[in-house]
Amino acid sequence: MVGEMSLKELLAEPQDLDSLHIPQSIVIELIFRILFNEGNVSLSRFAEVLKIPNRIIDGLLLWMQKEHLVEVSKANSELGRLGYVYTLTDAGSARARDAFDRSSYIGPVPVSIPHYNRGIELQTLRHQKISTNQVRESIRNLILPDDFHRRIGPAVNSGKSLFLYGPPGNGKTTIAQAIGKLISGTDPIWIPYAISAGGQIIQIHDRLIHRAIPIEGGRTSDMGRVDLRWGLFRRPSVMVGGELKMESLDLRFDPQSKFYEAPLQLKANGGMFLIDDFGRQQIRPADLLNRWIVPLENDIDFLRLNTGQTIVVPFRMFLVFSTNLDPLSLVDDAFLRRIQMKVEVGSPDEKLFYQIFIQISKQISIPFDREAFMYLVQRWYIQSGRVMQSVHPRDILRSVQAICEYDNIPLRLTPELIDEACRIYFVT
């Protein structure tokens, strides 16, 4: 029973075709497509692409030889069958074209949905324990209130969800990205490259999201020889902003390639999913609520194939929403109840603003001048009634830097340069 398997049993190297737990036809069609694309293919090349053991591939090729679908084009007598190089026969070429008509997917043999679900569940049953020092270290480059780590640390350890809100320009996105790096640095996770449902292939692996950890010799010290259809990755971190559309949260079928790409939340399983600038997406917040109300409550998601078949997959990630809009104007109480913790990231007071200004001055090598700083605060904040934002020191000092470089003068800070930088930065 899949539901009773340990992770070690689940990830054990498959010994035969049956232990792949997917239809044999999927593997055969993958072999056809590789041969059609590459012409002459060695057994080691098949194993490299398909990520299943040589003996399973050799058994299928032997059957295909008997059916006159493939033939040996080269052979190394010292290696026996392991030294054979295969090519398609005329009959095999016809079958390969049929295989391409059904799908053009070429890659690792997929894992069955039940085995994928069990693997993710086993690796997310216990939340990653993150210490106070780890949280402090992750945000040490940010100037924040002294106790700020206590606002986000419990949320990260809960492994559920976090809602960051507050005025723009105060570091919400940077804080969320720091959390993503923190989660990525915990125990790595086993994720299959692709999964199969209803005879269809769904590609999960995304080079932009999944950072692989090499496995020497196809084995690890705690797992032994592993099923290489699963890769060992740093925990994924997916970040989306205003470009998010509803179709990004559903299976995406490419009519040209004829296989599915996993939705973003499936790629984020076991890691973090950040929705930045929440409320500015091409999805209405209410529509997102309706789409995720069950996943947030029950930790499972429902995905639909083009055939109408619905598959159930885990919804196991640390979900972060970040917005500079009023949360109460975006979503209702039902949604906010399902977001476990809400943290306001407010504007800095004058003390924090001063600390940020000094830090940025050092970073870009502009000598700090207290008189110029006090002039900035008095003229451009107190007199104008402008609210301080954490991003302002960086942007103002970069403008000062650009002006000095344009005038070919040493980097410095003066009231005159402050005025010039602020006039071209602030909209009055």
pLDDT tens-place string over residues 39-84 = 999 999 999 999 999 999 999 999 999 999 999 998 876 677 777 8
Mean pLDDT of the chain: 90
Candidate CATH numbers 3.40.50.2300, 3.40.1390.10, 3.40.50.300, 3.50.50.60; the one for domain 113-344: 3.40.50.300
pLDDT tens-place string over residues 390-425 = 999 999 999 999 999 999 999 999 999 999 999 999
Q: What percent of the chain has pLDDT over 70?
A: 99
CATH topology of domain 23-106: Arc Repressor Mutant, subunit A (1.10.10)
Q: What is the pLDDT of residue 296?
A: 83
pLDDT tens-place string over residues 182-206 = 888 888 999 999 999 988 999 999 9
Judge whether residue 327 has pLDDT over 90. Answer: no
Rounded to an integer, the average pLDDT of 320-338 is 80
Q: E-assigned strands of 16-174? A: 41-42, 70-74, 85-88, 111-112, 161-165
Q: Tell how strand 85-88 and strand 70-74 pair up.
A: antiparallel
Rounded to an integer, the average pLDDT of 136-148 is 86
d(CA 203, CA 189): 17
Domain chopping of the chain, boundaries: 23-106, 113-344, 350-425
Judge whether residue 341 has pLDDT over 90. Answer: no
**pLDDT category of residue 137 using cuts at 50, 70 and 90:** confident
Look up residue 165 and give its two tokens.
């809100």
Q: Taking CA 234 as the corner, what is the angle to CA 231 and CA 235, rounded to the nearest 5 degrees?
A: 105
**pLDDT category of residue 427 using cuts at 50, 70 and 90:** confident
From the centroid of its chain, how far is CA 421?
38
d(CA 144, CA 390): 9
Question: CB within 8 A of 228, min separation 6: which ones?
Answer: 13, 51, 52, 108, 215, 218
Q: What is the pLDDT of residue 156?
A: 83
pLDDT tens-place string over residues 243-301 = 888 888 999 999 999 999 999 999 999 999 999 988 888 888 878 878 888 888 889 99
pLDDT tens-place string over residues 201-230 = 999 999 999 999 988 877 887 888 999 999
Which one, of 121, 117, 58, lies nearest residue 84 by Cα?
A: 58
Judge whether residue 366 has pLDDT over 90. Answer: yes
Q: What is the pLDDT of residue 396?
A: 96
d(CA 227, CA 171): 42
Rounded to an integer, the average pLDDT of 232-247 is 91
**pLDDT category of residue 131 using cuts at 50, 70 and 90:** confident
- What pTM did the predictor assign? 0.88
**pLDDT category of residue 125 using cuts at 50, 70 and 90:** confident
DSSP string, 359-415: HHHHHTTPPP-HHHHHHHHIIIIITTTPPP-TTHHHHHHHHHHHHHHHHT------H
Q: Tell me whether the CATH fold assigned to 23-106 matches the one assigned to 113-344.
A: no
Q: What percent of the chain has pLDDT over 90?
A: 62
Look up residue 61 and give its two tokens.
């090729």
